[in-house]
Every structure is written in structure tokens, then in C-alpha cells.
Structure 1
């Protein structure tokens, strides 16, 4: 490991203690290393604007930061155990290349605001990706909802309840993922605050140009209070995990439906072969493993959020406990996004089995239609309800799934899906 940024003369370090302190921090920092470099460039510009470094030093530092970024992308520079973390690696590289100019790069900043600004940029990037995935899922669902509707049993308590349709099923998840896309955007706006320039949480005795770094890094606003900057660490990450978790909850319920619908007992859905696997012992099996792991993926996101929350039993100011938030954050967000990325193609290519779905619609599933028709004709609803219940098996006489759905005229129901309104909401995200 290179010389520690905080090392002082006469203080000995212990290898085991240092390993515990560092853990896999430097490896995790690979995830945000390029964002750390970007923020370092903005910081260098800010130092030049207040005369702490010269214009030439700024140009040299920015050139070497660009070179470091390119070397990292190309694999010529590897962030590994030679360094305590990504921040020290940047300073070590700049010092090696530029001497005293490299040693000046840390003026006016702390590793606290370094990690915060790099993570904040990473979170904004991932929220944008979350919005993209949710919009793609919603778009596929709307396309399929616009196709001719096939009858599909509607369930409550996992019991056959009323006639539904494939169009209603797709429309439901379309609206869910439109909302998830909006939540991703709103969360991004909420966390879009620049923490750079607050140092260790109490500011510094320099007139740092925080307005410039805010604009240079593309933040919507400056996060003003240095103390709140530290208070927001973990809090903002949890907000991102909650936005992602909202989408993953819908993905889990969708995956649950497909898990049931693909069983031989239901036989409503066939999945593309690429989304199934075989058994290691049973030659007859094709297992919906992708769907099952999609269903399980919410647990990874929820566990990551829970771990971050449990770390936040802290007083104000920075505490080293927060180092442990990085691993759970990176793992949870990366896994959740990779799961969502699979859904658009899966939903576009899954196939409904119309004959099995029709066969599952039994006469009693029209009883609700009968009760409401009688109530509309003037019979008190509770009386109509009891009569329909007593004659539930005869309720389907002369009825078809299509007639039931076409009569369902309440907004959003089978006859009035309002797909145009949903499409408009989705497209407004592009405005």
C-alpha cells in the first residue's frame, strides 16, 4: 500500500488493523473511480478560480486526470491493494506525475466530500438508468395491452374471481412502471445536490467557488450546509434504494404471476426457451429459473437498503461506520438494475395460451356482473348480491368472456382501458 494520506511521523501502522480498516474499500471504489476523477477536475478548476493553484497547474492537473481516466478505462491503471482507496490513488498518481502540483489537489477538500460527490454522481447515473428500464418495461406492456385482448381469469386470494384479460394484465403493469419511472426521476431531482466543498463537514477557511463546481458537475443545486451534507449520507442512498425497490416490488409480483401461469396446472403462459433452464437429473424439465430469480431479486435490493439503514444509528458528523454502506449500495443497485433490464424482452416474447385461459373461466365468475346489472336496474345491491350468490353456477348462461369485458365500462376496466392516457403519461417523461 502506498503512503497513507493521513500518515504522521512516528506513528506505526499494524498490517492486520490496516486490513480491517481498508477491507475491500479500494476494490469497491472501482465503481465510482471515474466519477471521483470528474469531481477532482471540477475541484481543480475551483482552486484555480480562487488563486490557490495557477492556471498552468490547473491545466497540468486536468490533463493528468484525463489521462488517468483513460488508463483506467483501458486497463492500464488498476485500482488495487497498492492504494488505501480510490481517493488516495488519484492523489498518488498526480503526485507521481506532477510533484507539488499533485500534492496541492487535496487543498480544501476531505475524503468525506470526495466520496459523497462521487457517490452522488453515481446515484444520479443509476437513477437515470432505472428510469430508462422502467420506461422500456412500460412501453412493452402498453404495446401488448393494445393487442387484441384474450380472456384471462382474474384472481383474488389466488381463487378464481371475475373475468379479466391479457390487456388488463399488461395495462396494470404498464401503469405501475410508469409510476416507477416518475419516482426515479423525482428521486433524482431530490438528491441532485452538490456536496463538494464542504470538506469534513464543517467547511474550510477558503472562499471555495462552490457555485462553479455545482454547475461544472451538472448538479441542480448546491447542498449548502456542511453538517447536512454529512447527515444526508445514507439518507440519499436509501431514497435511491426505495425508488429501485418500488420497481422491484412490481417486478416481483409480475414474476410471481408468471411463475404460476407457466405451471402445468395453469398453463396460461409459455416462456422463450432462453429464459428457462433444464434439470440436472430430470430430462423432462424446463424450469423458469430467470423468472424465479427475478422474483427473488427484490430481496437483494431490500437487504441492501436495510443494511444502510442499520448503519445510520449515528450522531451528526462523519463516522467511519458509513464505509460499510458502499458495498451494499453498489451490490443492491447493480443487481436490481440488471434484473429490470431483462424484463422488456421477456414480456415482449412470452406467449399466452388462449385455450387454457378460456377453459379456466367458469360460470360463477360472471356472478359479480349479474349482481351489478340487477343493482343498476334498481334492486338494492345487497339483495342482488345474495341472489347472484345463490345462483352463481347459472350466472354464466348466455355470457362470454368478451361480453363481460365489453360491459365493464368503468374507467380502466376491460371496455375502457384508457391506454391513450397511459401512453401520454409515459411519453410526458420524454418531454
Structure 2
């Protein structure tokens, strides 16, 4: 194992057990971050050249070898193994091994503190960008389904009891609008985290005139994160913001999944799913199980657990504390699970097929009572009197149909007026297409 990059020649041999504990699972987790670390390292090299710490030739050599390393990691030729503390030390080890004394120069003016911050920040920016694209797709597919199914009646429920006639279009449109709100949250989060921490070193700056605007532009950040102390203090805070935004998306997916879990039961029998979205039982030949839906429903718990874990760790004073290392595992796992779930959600929406006849048969006469009470109130009868009249005039409800009920629901957003064009316009405003 190479000596830790921080070890002095005079120090005693490091206890392997302690090193293993302190390194934890960093080297495994860093497989997700190493490409971003290399990207940031190239920007840092250009920064050092711009202030004459590196010559043009030295800068070119370092960048070429960083790009070679990136390719070797992608091909599997260079592996992040337990011999390294983390991806940062692995990169430095490779450069020193290839370039000797020149490789040792790359860490001038930076700390592993701002190194991990910028790699994580780039990772989060990429993750939020992917989430925005996937949530946009989900909103689009929901709106397409709403358009196709707006005339199909279905029972509406409150307290898990049949309440009033609704429509499949309204159900899909509800999730479409939820995804639009999630886009707003994600875009706001994207704006929040779009700040460059590189150049703040260990949290107090360095005695070099670093060109932080250069690295900000090189790495595609919108602004510099200015104060070094706050930059360190924002570690965990920005991560929580991203997880919170992702959790809002998964909260809606959980509710969608819950509905589908109920609607595919034999007791409801409202929905059929494509066979590839279900699995068989290991013992019961008669069963098909919505395992995919149930696992998507559980994904929210993974993100919530990560949020709680990070919040527990972040009871810290200002400045860098090694406790922050333990935020990496839950963060990466939660982001991965979120993006996996978001990737599948548009496919599930498109695969949700309602059974028209079963839905219509589930709408019985008592479900028209609210419509009748409102009609009487619209004719001038006080609503509480109309409420009582419905009970006495119950027989008048029997001739009604589900189709009539949803056509008469003319309040904006109601079954007859889902305002799909307005929802599509909002989507266009949020996404630009």
C-alpha cells in the first residue's frame, strides 16, 4: 500500500486496522466520483499555469496524463483498489508514478477538502440534470395518458371509500402536475448548487492568487462559492438540498405505485400492467406479482434514510470535520436509487392500462349524491338543505351514468375541464420545449 499522501517521512508506520477504519468504503464509493475528480484536476492544472506555478509544457503533460488515466479507469486497466485511501490519492499516485516530481506539483494550492467538494458538486449537478430530464419525460407521458383517457370514468376515493365519479384522465393529470412542481424544485436546487468550491483549499484560502474564475468557467459553474469557511460548511447542506428535491419526486412515485398496487389486485382489478413489469411466484403458479411497482414504492425510503443519516452527521461546528466522510455513502446510494426509479417511471406510466368496463361497473348509484346536492344548491336551495334532500330523493339518482357525471364536472381542473393545455404550457415554460 502506498504511504498516505499526508504521511511525513519521520512518522511511524500506520496501523493497518486504523487505516482501514478511516478509509472506510471511500475507495469503492469513489468509483462514482473519480471522473469528476479528474475533470476538476485538469481545471486546477490550468489554474496553476495561469498564475505561473506550472509552465505550459508541465500543464500539458499533466492534462495528457489525467486524460490517459480517465481512459484507463473506464477500460478497467487502472483500478481503484484498497491500496489507496480514496480516488484523490489514487490520481496523485498515478501522476507521480508516471511523471515523477512533476506529478507532485498538482496538489499545489488545493486540499482534499475542496477536491472532494468540487468532485461531489459536479456529481450532484449531473444528477440533478438527469433528474430534470427524467421528470420532464414523466410529465410528458402523464399528459399523453391524460389526453387519451380523459373520457374514461373511474371511481374517486376518500378515506379508501368510494366517493364520487372521477376519470382516468384526472388521475393521470394529477401526477402530471405533481411532476411539474417537482421540476420547479429541481431547477431551484440546480441553481443553488451551481457554485464552484475549488480554490478554497482546506477552508481558509491559500497564499496564492488563484484564478478561481478560470476554474469556474472551465467546470461550467454559474458562480464562485466565495467564502472558504462557508464552502466547507455547505458540504452536506447542498447534498441535503439535492436529496430533498429527489425525495419530492419519489414521494409522488410512491403514491402512484401505491395506487397501482391496489388497482392491480383482484379485489379492484382496475389496471393491467405489461407482463415484463410483473414477476411470478416461486411456489404459486397462479400468481403474477407487481414486484417492480413495490420496489419503486420502497425507493422513497432509501432517500429518506439518507436524509436522516446526513442530518445526524451534520451536527458539527464550522470547518471541515472527518465525520463528513460518512455522508458520501448514503448520498451516492440515494442518488443512484433515485435516478434508477426516475428512469423507470415513464415506462410504468406508459404501461399503465386501465380496464374500462371494470372501472365503470365500480361506480354505483350513491356516488352521484354529491352531484345532485350541488345541482340543487345551484338552483337556489341552501346547500345543507340540499344535502338532506338527496337522502329523500335517492330514487332520482338511479338514472344517472358515470359519463354524465364527469361531463358535468365543469369546475376548472375538474373531469370535464382538465386544463391539459395549461399544464402543457407550464411544461413548455419550465423546459423550453
Identify the TM-score tier after normalising by the shorter chain.
over 0.9
From 308, 312, 315, the counterpart of 2:314: 312
Of 370-379 and 196-205, more deviation after overlay is shown by 370-379
State TM-score, norm by structure 2. Answer: 0.98
Does 1:234 find its partner at 2:230? no
Deviations 1:99-139 (A, max 9, x none): 12110100010000000000000000000111111111111
Count of equivalent residues? 430
Cα separation, 2, equivalents of 1:99 and 1:58: 14
Q: Contact 1:363–1:394 (CA<8 Å) still a contact in 2?
A: no
Of 372-381 and 250-259, more deviation after overlay is shown by 372-381
**Which residue of structure 1 aligns with residue 119 of structure 2?**
118
3-state SS of the aligned residue for 2:303? helix
**Which residue of structure 2 aligns with residue 58 of structure 1?**
59
**Off by >4 Å, runs of 4+ in structure 1:** none
Cα separation, 2, equivalents of 1:9 and 1:71: 30
3-state SS of the aligned residue for 1:147? helix
State TM-score, norm by structure 1. Answer: 0.98
User: Shift in Å at residue 395 of structure 1?
Assistant: 5.5
Does 1:6 find its partner at 2:20? no
Of 368-377 and 163-172, more deviation after overlay is shown by 368-377
Describe the shift of the 1:207–1:402 C-alpha distance in structure 2 as closer, same or farther (beyond 3 A).
same
Q: Contact 1:120–1:191 (CA<8 Å) still a contact in 2?
A: yes
3-state SS of the aligned residue for 2:67? helix
From 162, 169, 173, the counterpart of 1:167: 169
3-state SS of the aligned residue for 2:349? helix
From 281, 285, 303, the counterpart of 1:279: 281
Does 1:357 find its partner at 2:359? yes
3-state SS of the aligned residue for 1:104? helix
3-state SS of the aligned residue for 1:161? strand
Describe the shift of the 1:63–1:353 C-alpha distance in structure 2 as closer, same or farther (beyond 3 A).
same
Cα separation, 1, equivalents of 2:180 and 2:210: 41
Q: Contact 1:277–1:288 (CA<8 Å) still a contact in 2?
A: yes
Q: Unpaired runs of 5+ in structure 2?
A: none
**Which residue of structure 2 aligns with residue 131 of structure 1?**
132
Cα separation, 1, equivalents of 2:20 and 2:80: 16
Deviations 1:391-416 (A, max 9, x none): 48535332111111111111111111
**Which residue of structure 2 aligns with residue 147 of structure 1?**
148
1:51-130 equivalences in 2 (<5 Å): 51-130=52-131
Cα separation, 1, equivalents of 2:107 and 2:202: 12
User: Shift in Å at residue 371 of structure 1?
Assistant: 1.1
Deviations 1:289-325 (A, max 9, x none): 1111111110011101111111000000000000011
Describe the shift of the 1:92–1:380 C-alpha distance in structure 2 as closer, same or farther (beyond 3 A).
same
**Which residue of structure 2 aligns with residue 375 of structure 1?**
377
Describe the shift of the 1:392–1:23 C-alpha distance in structure 2 as closer, same or farther (beyond 3 A).
farther
Cα separation, 1, equivalents of 2:231 and 2:400: 63
